[in-house]
Chain A
Amino acid sequence: MGTRTATSEVQLKMLATIKNVLDDGTTATSSVGGQIFRTTLENGVSSGQINRSWQKKSISITDGGFKDYNISTCGGQDIGAGVGNDAVGQAMDIEEIVLLVVVNRSGPGILEVQTPAPAAATIVWIPTNFAANASGAGIRTGGMRMWWEPGTIGLDVSGGSSAVLRLSAASGQGAITNAEIYVLGRNDDDESSSSSSASSSSS
């Protein structure tokens, strides 16, 4: 047996300065945005905590094709430490998502999310056609979508009923050559039932 833990620091910054140069040369400026959030997540299953982390890079999808990812169990996925395992070779078992990020890093294609939603065990809190090219919402190269829920109640996932994220390459737009998924989460959505340290199975 081992004891698995995780910590993280997550930040989102969106900062601009808008400027108006008046006819006489006077400049008016104003800042917009700033540090939207910067949070250090300690190990655990409560507010401001995580104990699981997983990422998948270099996802390629042929034009018109799709790939499904169970972000609770990461079933069928091997990032180099065994099928369904995280980076330290332990089985993934997320019950709550604190952070989910989807990125289209490169390729000519337009990345879609839940378009259409998978028939089985789709993530219920991401609506069908969330990022659909037909509505102009597909993720083009360099684009990103993010869900962030650091509070006590994160975004619930359950391996068998609400966990599958579908990424597709919009038909006729080219292939996706490098999409990425980042997940931070908790292995227990019930604080009271969780011990102070989460035990992993031996591998």
Chain B
Amino acid sequence: MATRSTVSNQFSMTVQSTIMNSLDTTGKVTTASLTGEIIDETITQGVEEDQISRAWEEVDIAISSGGTVDIDIRDMAGRDIGAGLGKDALGQDVLFEEIVGLVIKNANADGVAGVLEINPVLPSPAWGVLPLYTARNAVGGGIKAGGVRAWFEPHAQAFDVAGSAKIRLGAVGGDVIASVYVFGRHDDEASSESSSSNSSSSSSSVSSSSSTP
């Protein structure tokens, strides 16, 4: 058996902002610098707190205006990122029992009209973590070009995925190019986890590829 793992994992969210008030009478400026690193997490290999053992991404998901795409967050069934249906970039079966990080992006170019919705209608079976109308255009909550929604849960008990669990992405007002990034664990019980995670059978010609969002 081969051994699958993750290395050099990072999730970080940084905001550096400065607000200024220019005083009319003196011409002087009052400034305040806010925040910094909101999240700066180095994530190691494993299935416990601050650890992941699986990662998956699909970029450039084309959704026609008015159309939807369902993604089973547990096994990515039916999704092919270039290494086979339901496979990760190494050509191995995807299996997430816990989600640690989820990022969904509307990758349309700035100004392109299509708006990305999340769960405009609940798919079946739906992943309970994302409610109906997680991102809904009708109330101004759709994800517009360049917009992103992110969930990060590094705790030992991250987002559970029990059985098939789908999220639905929809496009309204124009076509959408969407990207989905997932960090997770293939086992939600640390006690049942061996020191190395076994992958399903792998061919001798597994090829690596790098990708950038």
B9 x A17 contact (CB < 8 A): yes
If A5-B19, A14-B181, A153-B144 touch, whether A130 touches B152 (CB-CB below 8 Å) is no
A53 x B2 contact (CB < 8 A): no
Q: Which of A18, A41, A103, A126 is close to B89, meaning CB atoms less than 8 Å apart?
A: A18
B8 x A16 contact (CB < 8 A): yes
B160 x A4 contact (CB < 8 A): no
If A53-B34, A55-B34 touch, whether A87 touches B7 (CB-CB below 8 Å) is no
Chain A residues with Cβ under 8 A from B7's Cβ?
A: 16-17, 19, 29
How many angstroms from the CA of A106 to the CA of B212 in the assembled complex? 33
A-B pair number, CB within 8 angstroms:
276
B144 x A149 contact (CB < 8 A): yes
Chain A residues with Cβ under 8 A from B131's Cβ?
A: 127-130, 132, 135, 137
Q: What is the distance, in angstroms, from A81's C-beta to the closest C-beta of chain B?
A: 8
Binary per-residue interface labels of chain A (1-44) against chain B in the complex, 1 for a CB within 8 Å, 0 otherwise: 11111111111111111111111100011111111110001000
A124 x B39 contact (CB < 8 A): no
Q: B194 contacts the other chain (Cβ, under 8 Å)?
A: no
Interface-side segment among A59-67, A69-77, A139-147, A164-172:
A139-147
A88 x B56 contact (CB < 8 A): no
Docked complex: B60-96 residues within 8 A CB-CB of A: 88-90, 92
How many angstroms from the CA of A90 to the CA of B129 in the assembled complex? 38
Closest A residue by C-beta to B112? A151
Q: What is the distance, in angstroms, from A52's C-beta to the closest C-beta of chain B?
A: 7
Q: A155 contacts the other chain (Cβ, under 8 Å)?
A: yes
A5 x B22 contact (CB < 8 A): yes
If A10-B14, A12-B13 touch, whether A90 touches B21 (CB-CB below 8 Å) is yes
- The chain A residues found within 8 Å of chain B, CB to CB, are 1-24, 28-37, 41, 47-48, 50, 52-55, 86-90, 99, 101, 103, 124-130, 132, 135-137, 139-153, 155-156, 162, 180, 182, 184, 200
B19 x A14 contact (CB < 8 A): no
If A28-B207, A88-B31 touch, whether A37 touches B148 (CB-CB below 8 Å) is yes
- 27 A-B contacts (beta carbon < 8 Å): A2-B24, A3-B21, A8-B16, A8-B17, A13-B13, A17-B7, A18-B88, A18-B90, A19-B6, A19-B7, A23-B1, A32-B89, A33-B213, A52-B19, A86-B19, A86-B32, A87-B19, A101-B13, A124-B140, A125-B135, A127-B133, A132-B131, A136-B128, A143-B153, A144-B39, A148-B150, A184-B17
If A36-B105, A87-B32 touch, whether A144 touches B150 (CB-CB below 8 Å) is yes
Interface footprint category on B: 35 or more
Binary per-residue interface labels of chain B (15-29) against chain A in the complex, 1 for a CB within 8 Å, 0 otherwise: 111111111100000
Q: What is the distance, in angstroms, from B92's C-beta to the closest C-beta of chain A?
A: 6
B6 x A182 contact (CB < 8 A): no
